Structure 1
Amino acid sequence: MAKISCPQCHQQVDSQAITCPYCRTTLKAYGHPGITLHRAAKGTYLCDTCTYHVDDSCTFPQRPYAKDCTLYQNIADRNAQIEEQKSSNNFDASIKSWIKRNQALILILGLLLICLLFVIFTS
């Protein structure tokens, strides 16, 4: 059972809890355990660090002064994730992509190799 820290009282609670059992702070949006409710720290707004605010695609009515949001995505985390995807397995990804694009060629070459080996070993 995974635990998270309550943003209000900082007690450890179950990650699926809808409200904090200690201070009754709402932890999940709309009473649904699958919808995380992101909250801003005191004196700050979520929009200052949100990807959707930066690219101007946010339609949340509380923008740019949102204190809680269900769609919040930290721009620093998103940029780090993109950089990690670019740097890790770049060569491996290009090889897999090439194989996927040239499956017919690989199949024909494989069949020719099998025929060649068959001819060599039977003669």
Structure 2
Amino acid sequence: MPECPRCHQSVSTQAVTCPYCRTPLKAYGHPGIPLHRADKNEYLCATCVYDDDNTCTFPQRPYAKECTLYCDRNRPVETKPTYTRSFLLKSWLRRNSGWFLLAALILLSLLWAISQ
């Protein structure tokens, strides 16, 4: 379980505020928006990816102590897996197999009607 940054008590992962000291733990009162906090004498912008590439639009930049957009530059970037053509074709056929069978049935019906 995570702990409160102020009182260091264990809190629920879905808690919006700390039940002991009422410190906000999530941004805008929403459990799905994490609120990142800096240590006492540091700023988040010093280690943020968005500050490095100058795309940060946060008004408190470069002295932000709390931020919802923070992304640590020391954390490795996740890359999307690459797929081979055969895998893509198989997954496309699996997703669209119903349409493929319907088109084949219509084509067979047309061929049978023409041959009669």
Compute the TM-score of the two structures, normalised by the length of structure 1. Answer: 0.65
Deviation per CA, 1:91-123: give whole Å up to 9, x if none: xx56x324246x49xxxxxxxxxxxxxxxxxxx
The ranges of structure 1 where at least 4 consecutive aligned residues each deviate by more than 3 angstroms after the TM superposition are none
Deviation at 1:45, TM superposition (A): 0.3
| In structure 2, C-alpha distance between the alignment counterparts of 1:26 and 1:67, rounded to whole Å | 13
Alignment match of 1:14 (pick from 12, 15, 33): 12
Q: Which amino acid aligns with 2:37?
A: R
The percent identity for this pair of structures is: 57
Q: Which residue of 2 aligns with 1:99?
A: 86
| In structure 2, C-alpha distance between the alignment counterparts of 1:10 and 1:40, rounded to whole Å | 15
Q: Could you say what the CA RMSD is over the residues aligned between the two structures, in angstroms?
A: 2.3
Ranges in structure 2 where 5+ consecutive residues have no aligned partner: 91-116
Deviation at 1:36, TM superposition (A): 0.7
Structure with the bigger percentage of helix: 1
Q: Which residue of 1 aligns with 2:77?
A: 81
Ranges in structure 1 where 5+ consecutive residues have no aligned partner: 87-92, 105-123
Is 1:51 the counterpart of 2:55? The answer is no
Deviation at 1:42, TM superposition (A): 0.4
Question: Partner of 2:69: helix, strand, or coil?
Answer: coil
Q: Which residue of 2 aligns with 1:24?
A: 22
Compute the TM-score of the two structures, normalised by the length of structure 2. Answer: 0.69
Question: Partner of 2:11: helix, strand, or coil?
Answer: strand
